[in-house]
Amino acid sequence: MGLSIEEVRHIADLARLRLTSDEERRYTEQLSAILEYAARLKAVDTSHIPPTATVLPLRAPLRPDVPRPSTPREHILSNAPQEKEGMFRVPPVLDTTS
Amino acid sequence: MTELSDLNLLEAAQALRSGMTTSQELTETCLARIEACDDAVQAFLALTPDLAMQQAKSADERILSWRKKSDEPLPLVCGIPLAVKDVLCLQDVPTTCGSRILEGFRPPYTATSVQRLIQAGSVILGKTNTDEFAMGSSTENSAYGPTHNPWKLERVPGGSSGGSAAAVAARMCFAALGTDTGGSVRQPASFCGVSGLKTSYGRVSRYGLIAYGSSLDTVGCLARNAADLQPIFTIMAGHDPLDSTCLVDPVPQVSLDQIELRGLRIGVPREYFIEGMQTEVETSVREAVGVYESLGAVVSEISLPHTDLAVPVYYLIAPAEASANLARFDGIRFGPRIEGADLLAEYLDTRGTLFGSEVKRRIMLGTYALSAGYYDAYYGQAQKVRTLIKADFEEAFQKVDLIACPVAPTTAFPIGQHGDDPLAMYLEDVFTLPANLAGVPGLSFPVGYDSDGLPIGMQLIAPHLAEASLLQATHAYQSTTAWHKEQPSL
C-alpha cells in the first residue's frame, strides 16, 4: 500500500522532523516501498498468537528504596546548548505578552 | 620477531604477565598502528591517547604488584588496549552515535559494559565509527563518513559496528566493543574476517548504551578469535542494578576446551540458503559445517519456517522503538540546537537538519507503524509474527544444540552499492535479524575467503544464555583451522 505525500507530511509533523520538499518526495516513494514489502505480514494467520514485546519473562525487580547520590547538576547542564540559572533554557512556551 | 600488534589478546595478556612487554608499550603500539592505518580505514571517530596512556600506566603498576604477590587473580583483559563503539557512553569523552545531533556531547557517566572493563584494567583507545544510531549495515550512514574495509578499502566493513570490526581486523586494537540490534556485531565481523559475539538479550547491561531498539539491543564484542572474546564477555556480562532487563542469571566460567564435539547436534536451517546468495558463501559455510562433522558433531538439516518474515517484522518493530527512543534528541538538553522562532520550530529544525536520512526514515516508519489506525496492522501484527520467529528457535533447540548458518548473503559489498535503496540494504540483514527477534546469542567467525580475497563468515546460534557453547564450539573450529589467522596486508 502506498503513502501519499500528505501522509508523509503528517508523519513528519508527528515525529517533529522538518523535511525539505525533496525529502518529502523521496520518503513518500521509499516508505511506500517498505510498507508494501511489510504487507506480506498480513497474510500470516496470527489470530491465536500472542504478541512478543520482550523475550524475557516479565518481572518487575525491586531494589531497596534508599537514597543515593545523583549526577551533579553542573555535569548534566554542561551538555545543554543553552542554560540559565541552573536550568535548561528554552524559548517561551507561554504567551506572556497579553 | 612478531610485531606486538600481531599478537592476539591472550598472547598479549601472557606477554604482560611474563614481563615481556608492558601495557604502555602495547598501547603505544596500537596508537602507532592507528596513526599509520586509520587515515585509510577511518575506523575511529575519537581517540583518547592521554586517557589510554594513563590507564596503561595504572595497569602496569597493577601487573607489577600482581607479579610480586599473585594472591589476587589478575583479569586477562588487564592492560589490554580496546576500542569502543561510539554508541556506548564513556564519561567526558565525545560520544556521537555517528550523528550530528550529538556533536560535542560528553556523557556524564560511563556505560556499565565499558566501566567493568576499565575496572578490570583495560585500556580504552577511543570511540569507533558506526552507522548513525546503529541504523545500518555498512557504516555508510555515519554522519562522519564511512569506514573502509581493511581487506579492500573500497568495500564496506559492514555495520553498524563497522569501525570496531575494521579496527580489530587492521590490528589497531586487540578487541573492540560493538552492539547488535539486528546483526551489527556479526555482519561486520563477517565482512572484516574477525570473530564477533552477539550476546543474549538481557545478558549484558544496556546502561549507557544509547538506545535504538530497546527490546533488541545487545552489547557484544569483536576480537581475532573466540578465545579472545571469552574474557571480554565474562567481564561485561551479569546483572547490573542500573538495567532492569539485565538478568540475574549467573555467567558460567567455563574452560573453552571443555566441549564434547562428539555427538554435538548442529542444525543447518534450509531457509538460510537462498536464491541470489553468493555461491562461495554457501560453499564455505557448508565446508565449515563439514569440519564440525569431521570432529564428531551430528549435523542435520532443520527448518526455521518464519525466517523470511524477519525482515518485515524487524523493520517495523525496531523503527517503532527507535521513534520513541530518539524523541529525546530535541536540542534542549544535549547536542547542538538550531534556533527558531518558537519551541516547535526549534524541534523541527534541530531534528530535521541534524538527523541523517536513514534515521529520519526509520523514525517516520516507526511513527507510522505506531500511529492510530495503523498500530494493529503493522506494529501489533509484527509483534505477533515475532512470537512465531521466536518459537521457530525454541522448536529447533529441542532437536539440536547449535544452529550453523551464513551471516550475510554476500561478502563485503562496494561502498555506495545500495545508494539510496533502503529496502535493498534492509534485505542484507536477512540472516542476522532472527536471532535478535528471538533474543538468542550468536557468534560470527571467518570460515573462508572469496575469489576477491574477502572474508566469508559463518554464525553459530545457541539457546538463550548459552554463550559458553558458542565460544567453545567456535574455539574447537579455530583450533583445527587457520582462517581466523589471516590478516589484511595493511
Active-site annotation holds for B184: yes
Q: Is the CB of A62 inside 8 Å of chain B's CB atoms?
A: no
Contact A46 B384 (CB under 8 A): yes
**A56 lies in some domain:** no
**A62 lies in some domain:** no
**Nearest-angstrom CA–CA distance, B79 and B56:** 6
Residue A65 in this model has a pLDDT that exceeds 60: yes
Q: Is B215 helix (H, G, I), strand (E, B) or coil?
A: coil
Q: Are strands B219-223 and B265-269 parallel, antiparallel or unpaired?
A: unpaired
The pLDDT of residue B236 is: 98
Residue B1 in this model has a pLDDT that exceeds 80: no
Q: How confident is the model over B317-344, as a mean pLDDT? A: 96
Mutation choice for B interface testing from A30, A52, A65 by most B CBs within 10 A = A52
A57-66, B80-89, B158-167, B245-254: lowest mean pLDDT where? A57-66
**A96 lies in some domain:** no
Residue-range domains of chain B with CATH: 4-263+468-485 (3.90.1300.10), 308-382 (no CATH)
Beta bridge partners of B5: none
Rg (chain B; Cα; Å) = 21
| Residue at grid coordinates 592476539 | B8
In this structure, what CATH number is given to the domain that contains residue A27? Answer: 1.10.20
Residue B420 in this model has a pLDDT that exceeds 90: no
Count Cβ–Cβ pairs < 8 Å, chain A vs chain B: 165
CB atoms within 10 A of CB B114: 24
**A71 lies in some domain:** no
Annotated catalytic residue, options B184, B205, B323, B469: B184
Annotated catalytic residue, options B85, B284, B323, B469: B85
Name the pLDDT band for A98 (thresholds 50, 70, 90): low
**Nearest-angstrom CA–CA distance, B222 and B484:** 12
Q: How confident is the model over B428-433, as a mean pLDDT? A: 96
**What phi and psi values does residue B378 have, to the nearest 5 degrees?**
-105, -75
Q: Is the CB of A16 inside 8 Å of chain B's CB atoms?
A: yes
Q: Which residue type sits at B26?
A: L
| More confidently predicted of A60 and A70 | A70
The total of structural domains in chain A comes to: 1
Residue B320 in this model has a pLDDT that exceeds 80: yes
Residue B490 in this model has a pLDDT that exceeds 90: no
Of B312, B380, B384, the CB nearest to A40: B312
As a whole number, the mean pLDDT across chain B is 96
Q: How confident is the model over B394-421, as a mean pLDDT? A: 95
From chain B, pick out residues whose CB is under 8 angstroms from the CB of A92: 342-343
**A37 lies in some domain:** yes
Kindly tell me the burial class for residue A2, based on how many C-beta atoms sit within 10 Å of its own C-beta (0-12, 13-18, 19 or more). Answer: exposed
Domain that holds residue A32: 5-43
Q: Check if the beta carbon of residue B265 is closer than 8 Å to that of residue B300.
A: yes
pLDDT more than 70, % of chain A: 94
**Nearest-angstrom CA–CA distance, B107 and B86:** 11
Annotated catalytic residue, options B23, B113, B137, B160: B160
**A24 lies in some domain:** yes
Distance (Å) from the alpha carbon of B179 to chain A's nearest alpha carbon = 18
pLDDT more than 70, % of chain B: 100
The pLDDT of residue B2 is: 66
Residue B385 in this model has a pLDDT that exceeds 80: yes
Q: How confident is the model over A47-69, as a mean pLDDT? A: 88
